Structure 1
Amino acid sequence: MTDDPVIHLRDVSFRYPGASHDTLRNVNLSIERGDFVAVVGGNGSAKTTLCKTFNGLVPHYWSGEFSGTAEVCGIDTYSSTVAELSSRVGYVYQDFTNQLVRPTVRDEISFSPINFGFADHAERTAEAMEMLRITDLADRYIWQLSGGQAHLTALASVLAMRPEIIVVDEPVAELDPARALEIYQRLELLNRQHGITVVTIEHHAEFIARFARSVVLVDHGCPVWHLPVQDAVNRTAQLAEHGIPAPQIIRATQALGYPDAPRTVAAAAELLGPAPNTGTDPAVTPQRDPVVRISGTEADTVARVHDVHHSYRTVESELQTVIDGLDLTIRRGDRIALVGGNGSGKTTLLKLLAGIMVPREGEVIVDGIDTRSRSASRLSDHVAYLWQEPRQMFLRESVRSDVALFPRERKIRGWPELVERTLDKVRLTELADRDGRSLSGGQQRRATLAIGLAMRPTLLLLDEPTASLDIASRDAVIAMLDELSDTIAASVVATHDMTLVAEWADRVIVLSRGTVSADIRPRELFDRPDLLADANLVPPQITELGRAVGMHPAPLNVAEFVDRFHPSATSVHPLLTQGAH
C-alpha cells in the first residue's frame, strides 16, 4: 500500500450477471494520489472492468456478484453511489458516444458543472474547450461530429468538472496522431500542475513509455504487477507476452546492444549517436512524384470517384461541405491508407464508396456500378464496409450468426466452412456463441473484421480497424489484410495508425479540406514534414528516430532501421520479430 492511496482495492472479485466465472479475481491494488497510471494488458484481460470499480459502475450499474473492498478518495464505493463518485472521478468510456447526451458541444461540456451548481460553469466550459482546441466546435451539434471530435468532446466534459481522478479508456483510439499526442500532453499537464490522478487504459506502448509514471499489467482479471514506468518498459519480453510489444525505439536500441530502454525518440537518438552511413540508400530512395497511377487498363479499375461534392445539412438548413471536388481512382491490387485529421472526410468518403450515401454532385462507380443505381444492400455483393463503431454491425444473437448472415443469405457455396475458417482467422472461435455487444472493444473489432471477410467483397473498406486493439491483435489484422490479396481486389483503410500505414499500405491518400491533398507512397509521406503537419499526422517512432540520427530516407520499420544502422544485427535479435510482418 502506498503512503497516500487515492484508489485502494482489497481482495476485490466481480462476476457479471449470468457469467460462469469471475471477471475480476481477488484484486489487490493501490494507486497513489497524483500518479499517472497506464493500465495495460491484452484484449479481454478485464482492464475496463477493473477501472469501472473506480467510479462505482461496478457494482452499482453492473450489479453482479461483488466481494472485497474498493475505496476511492477515501469513500467505500459499495456504500456510496455513482452520482457521489462522479464529482471526484471523471471517466471517458471506450464507447464514449453513449455518454454524450446534450444537443451541442457547449451544452455537453457545461452539462455537469451546471448540474452540480458551479457558478463558474461558463469559465470551466471555455477552459476545457480551449485545452483541447475545440472552441470552434462549440455550437456544433453532437451528431455532426466526427468520431475523433466526439471523443474530444467527451474528454472536455470530464475536464470541466476538474475531478480528483480522470480515467480515460483508450484516449487516442479515434484521434489523428498529432491530436493524440496533444491529448497525452494535456493529461500530463493536468497531472503535474494540478495534481490530478490520471489513469489511462492503453495499448500504445510509446505513449505509456513517454507519459506514464507507473504501469499496471492486467491478465485474466488480476494485476500481474504495478511498477514504476522505467521498470515496466524494461520488462519487454513479459509485456510482449501480454500483447504489448516494446515501443519501436526500445526494440531498435536493444537490438543494437543497448540494454537500457529509452523512453523518448530524443533519448534514443542521444544514446545511439549519428548513423554510421547517413547518405541516401539507393535501395529505398522514395519517388518524389505522386502515385497518380494513371496507367493501366479500365479493367484494372475497381472504383472511381469523379468530381464528387458532398455536404451535410445542419439544423439551420445550411450546407456544411465535407467533400469538395474529390477525384480518386482505386485499382486492382491497391492497399490504400486513407489518412487526414479528424473531420477531414475519411468516413464520408468510405460511405460514398459503399453506397451508404450518394454524393450531392459527381459520380461514384464501384465494380462498374454507379452507386446511384443500386441500393447499399445490393452493392454489398461487391463492396464491404466495416463501420467505425463496431456495435453497429452486430444484428444477431451471436458472433457466429453475425458472420454467417451474409454468406448464408446469399447462399454462398460452402458457407458454414467459410464462417468457421473466418472465425479461426480472427481468433474468435471460443467466443463465437457470445453476443458481439458483450465482447471487449478489441474483440468487437476482430468480430467486425470477420463479418467483412466472410462477405468476400471485391472492395473492402475499413474505418479505423485497429482502434482499441492490443498490438498482437493489430498485427493479426495487418497479417489478415496481407492474406486477402488473392481474394479481395483492393482494400481501403481509413486510419490514424501510422504503423499500419508504414507496414501495410502501398499507397496513401491524404485528405485535407474535403479533397485529396496527396496521393503518395508511405515512405514519401513520412519524408514530407509540411504534408504531415497539414494533415495532423505524426510518423511512427522508428521513422522519427531514423530522421533524428540522420537517415535519409527515413526507415519504415525496426528491422530496416537496424539493418541500415548495423547490418549484422538484423538477424540475431529476437525483439525484431515483435510486431513485425
Structure 2
Amino acid sequence: MEVLRVDNLSYTFPGQEKPFLKKISFSLQEGEFVLLSGESGSGKSTLLNCLNGIIPHIWKGELEGEVWLKGVNTASSSLDRLVQLAGTVWQDVESQLIQLKVEDELVFGMENIGLEAEEIDRRLDFILPLVGLSRTSLVRDLSGGQKQRLAIGAVLAMLPQVILLDEPLANLDLPGAHSFLKFLRGLCRQGRTVLMVEHRLDLSSSYVDRLFILEQGRIKKDLQGKELVVQEEINIINRPGLTREGGLQIKAGLTKEGDPKIKEALTKEGDPQIRPALTGDNRYIEQSLNRPLKVQADKSPVAVEAGGLLISYGKKAILSNLNLQVKRGEKIVILGENGTGKSTFLKTLAGIRKGCSLQYKHFEILGQPVRKNKPAFFSSNIGLVMQNPNHQLFMDSVYREVGLNAPGRQAVMEVLELFGMAELSQRHPLSLSQGQKRLLAIAAIVANKPPILLLDEPTIGQDYFSLQKILEIISWLNEKEEMTVITATHDRKAAESLGDRAFIFSKGRISKEGGRDVVREYFNKYR
C-alpha cells in the first residue's frame, strides 16, 4: 500500500531565482526502509521538510508539485493532522528538545496527539529501554549522543505511519547505532515506513531496502534491493577524489609510513574547487599556514599531561582518576560509548569549565600548570571544534566567520578555497546545512593555527568526499606543523586516519589505550 507520493516537486527558497529542489517524483510503500543520501548541501533536509509539511506551512518560498501523505495533500492539510501521520527527527536534535526531564520529553508528543494515560505509560515502558536513559535525568546533563537517542525516542513513541529521520546516527555510538537500525527494521516489518537521511552508508546499507542518491536537488539514482545498495556504498567510497587512492585512505586509515602530504596529493588529482588554493598565488597556504605555531608556553615536548584527574558536575563524577600524556605533534583519538565523558574532557582542555569542578595531582597543558592559565592562553593555543557547530558560529557571513581568525582577505579566501567553501562566502552560516556548518567551524578554527586542535565528532554530516577532504587537511597540518590533534569520534574512518594512538573511555575512566591496533579492535567488535 502506498503511504507517501511525491509528484513533480520543486522548491525555491525566498529571494532566490532558481529552484533548489527540481522536479522530484517517487512513492514509498508501507513497510519500506529507504535511505536518502547525497553530498552535503544537495537538498536532503529541505526535501524532508517538504514531505512533513514544514514547507510550505512554516518555511515559505515557491513550492510546485504535490506531496501526498496517506492520501492527504500536505500543502492543504493542517500541521496538527500531518504530525500524526509523519514523525520527524531533525538533524540538530537540540532544536527539538524542549522539556527539562527525559520523561517529560518522551511524554510531550504523546499527550499532544491525545493518547490516554494508560497507553502513554505502556509506550514509555516500551521506549525507555531503547533510549537507555533514566526517566528522571535532566536533558541539560545529557551528552550529544544521549540527546540524539532522546529525540528519536520522543518521535517513535508517537508511532507515526511514516518516520522521517535526518542523520539519526550522527551522534550515536556503534552499539547504539546498530541497535537503533535493528529497531527501525523491526518497525518496517510491522508496517511502518522509514525514510532516513544518512551519510554513514557503511553502517546503514545492509539494513535498508532502497537507496535514493540526491544530487543538486534532483534524485540521480533510485536503487532497490540490498545488493545494489551495498554496491553503491562501495562505489561512493572508492570514487576518485583528493588522492590517487580515492576512498582507500578513508577505509584503511593512513599508511604506517606516515601521513601523505596533502599538497602533493591535491595538485595531482585535486578537486577543482580546492586546487586553486594550492597551486595559484598561494601566499597564505605557503606562508601563513607554514608560519610557526603560536605557542606561548615553554618548549616542553608534552602537550597535555594529567594525573589523577577528576571532573565532576555537582556530586556526579564524569571522569575520575584520569592519567594520560599526549606529546606535541601526536594524533590521538578518544573512543567510547555515549555519555562516557569524551566531550567533557575536550571542553576541560579548552578551558570551558562552567559548572564543573576539577581535582588532580597534576594537570599541565603545553608545559604550564592549568591552574595558572588565563583565558588568553586557551584562546591562543587551543582550538576546539564543538559537537554542535551552531554553538560556535556567530558572524553574519561565512567570510566573516573565517575572518575572525584569518589575517586579511587573501587569507580568508584561501582558507575557504582549501575547504571548498569559496562559493558560500556570502551565505549566512546558519543558512547552511549541518554538514556545511561543521566544515565552516573547522575552517574557522584551523585558520588560527592553534598548537592543539580538539575535534568533537568533526565528521558528522559529512559526505564521503567532504570527509576525506577534512581528514587530509588535518593530517597535513599535523605532519607539517606538528599540530597536536585530539579527536573524539564514533566514525571508524576518522579514527583510523586521525588516531596514531587511542584512549578508550568507559564508565568515566580510561579502560584501554594503545596504537592503531586498539582502534581496529574497538571497531571490529561492532561489525
TM-score for both structures, normalised by structure 1: 0.77
1:115 to 74, 90, 112: 112
Give the match's secondary structure for 2:320. Answer: strand
Partner deviation per Cα, 1:384-424 (whole Å, 9 max, x = no partner)? 0111101111111111111111345xxxxxx4333222111
* 1:343 lines up with 2:339 in the alignment: yes
Q: TM-score by structure 2 length?
A: 0.84
Partner amino acid for 2:474?
A: L
- Classify 1:331/1:232 alpha carbon distance in 2 versus 1 (closer, same or farther; 3 Å): same
The aligned counterpart of 2:391 is: 392
Partner of 1:458 in structure 2? 451
Q: Is the 8 A contact 2:240 2:246 kept in 1?
A: no
1:446 and 1:166 map into 2 onto residues whose CA distance is 28
1:366-515 alignment, distance < 5 Å:
366-408=365-407, 415-485=408-478, 486-515=480-509
Distance across 2 between alignment mates of 1:478 and 1:204: 16
User: Who is 1:164 aligned against?
Assistant: 161
Distance 1:76 1:386 in 2: 42
Distance apart, 1:373 and its partner CA: 2.9
1:114: how far off? 1.5
Bigger mean CA offset, 399-408 vs 21-30: 399-408
**CA apart distance, 1:238:** 6.9
Instruction: Find the aligned partners of 2:428 and 2:70 in 1 and give their Cα distance.
Output: 36
Letter matched to residue 18 of structure 2: H
How many residues align structurally?
469
Contact 2:343 2:488 in 1 (8 A): yes
Instruction: Map residues 487-566 of structure 1 onto 2, 5 A cutoff.
Output: 487-527=481-521, 532=522, 538-539=523-524
Amino acid at match of 1:218: L
Deviations 1:233-285 (A, max 9, x none): 44554786699x9999xx99xxxxxxxxxxxxxxxxxxxxxxxxxxxxxxxxx
Counterpart amino acid of 1:148?
G
Identity %: 29
Does 2:350 match 1:354? yes
Cα RMSD after superposing both structures? 2.3
Distance, in Å, in 2 between the alignment partners of 1:33 and 1:484 is: 49
**Which residue pairs with 1:332 in the alignment?**
328
**Amino acid of the residue matched to residue 68 of structure 1?**
G
**Counterpart in the other structure of 2:311:** 310
1:225 maps to which of 221, 224, 231: 221
> CA separation in 2, counterparts of 1:447 and 1:99?
23
Q: Does 1:210 align with 2:206?
A: yes
Q: CA deviation at 1:5?
A: 2.1
Alpha-carbon distance change, 156 to 377 in structure 1, aligned in 2, over 3 angstroms = farther
Does residue 87 (structure 1) correspond to residue 88 (structure 2)? The answer is no
Residue aligned with 1:86, SS? helix
- Residues 177-196 of structure 1: matches in 2 within 5 Å? 177-192=174-189, 194-196=190-192
Look up the match of 1:75: 72
Worse overlay, 350-359 or 394-403: 350-359
Deviates more, 1:122-131 or 1:233-242: 233-242
Deviation at 1:525, TM superposition (A): 4.2
AA paired with 1:493? T
| SS at 1:395 equivalent | coil
Distance 2:49 2:369 in 1: 48
- 8 Å contact from structure 1 (residues 87, 163) kept in 2: yes
Query: How many angstroms apart in 2 are the aligned matches of 1:481 and 1:238?
Result: 22
Tell me the distance in 2 between the aligned counterparts of 1:183 and 1:493. 24
Give runs of ≥4 in structure 1 deviating > 6 Å.
245-248
1:190 and 1:484 map into 2 onto residues whose CA distance is 45
Q: Determine whether 1:101 maps to 2:94.
A: no
How far apart are the structure 1 equivalents of 2:231 and 2:358? Answer: 54
Counterpart residue identity of residue 405, structure 1? L
Match of 1:343, SS? Answer: coil
- Looking at structure 1, the residues matched to 70 and 240 of structure 2 have their Cα atoms a distance apart, in angstroms, of 30
Would the alpha carbon gap of residues 352 and 91 (structure 1) be closer, same or farther in structure 2, given more than 3 Å must change? same
CA offset at residue 125 of structure 1? 1.7
